[in-house]
Amino acid sequence: MDPFWEGAEIISRYTRTDAINDGQLIDVTDTAKEAGFLYPIAVTQAVWADYVVPDERSRKYGQDEAGRLWDILWMLKYAIKRGEGGSNLLFSVHMIMQEKNKRLVKFKSLCHPGDAGEPVITIMMPDED
């Protein structure tokens, strides 16, 4: 323990579990396990709302939450296997957006300690922390 903080009282704490319960993170661990991941995975609200949930126009072209989430997880797995990163990894996914336009979307994943020090992964937008 850092001597500067010795005896310091914790006045507030916001855990990963709190963020999941509040909807700031969406737990996608069950789908991630199907894709072969061993660690719990969550995506940020921004990733979920802007890229996992398709708009109505994209739904007309067969886009749905399950498929989009699978694409994101699959490309993360591919990026991890390429070994280009470490605990902080940037990766991209081609997403069909409005009216069947494809767009290359960049994401960031962070492998970090969870609430009990266990390894967890969070998928976020590149500008999120």
Q: Is pLDDT above 60 for 1? A: no
For the stretch 54-87, pLDDT in tens is 877 777 777 899 999 999 999 999 999 987 667 8
Range of the domain at 19: 15-124
Of residues 58, 46, 62, the one with CA closest to residue 107:
46
Tokens of 117: 């020090």
Q: Is pLDDT above 90 for 92? A: yes
Evaluate whether residue 10 is within a structural domain.
no
Evaluate whether residue 8 is within a structural domain.
no
Evaluate whether residue 5 is within a structural domain.
no
CATH number, domain with residue 102: 3.30.450
Burial class from Cβ neighbours inside 10 Å (0-12, 13-18, 19+) for residue 109 reads buried
Evaluate whether residue 73 is within a structural domain.
yes
Evaluate whether residue 83 is within a structural domain.
yes
List CB contacts of 119: < 8 A, sequence separation 6 or more.
39, 111, 112, 113
* Residues 62, 55 contacting (CB under 8 angstroms): no
For the stretch 23-62, pLDDT in tens is 999 999 999 999 999 999 999 999 999 999 987 777 777 7
For the stretch 96-127, pLDDT in tens is 877 667 889 999 999 999 999 999 999 999 99
User: For the chain, what is the domain count?
Assistant: 1
The residue type at 56: E
Tokens of 17: 């579990």
Q: What is the DSSP string of 22-34?
A: HTSEEE-HHHHHH
List CB contacts of 63: < 8 A, sequence separation 6 or more.
54, 96
Evaluate whether residue 3 is within a structural domain.
no
pTM of the model: 0.87
Tokens of 127: 């500008």
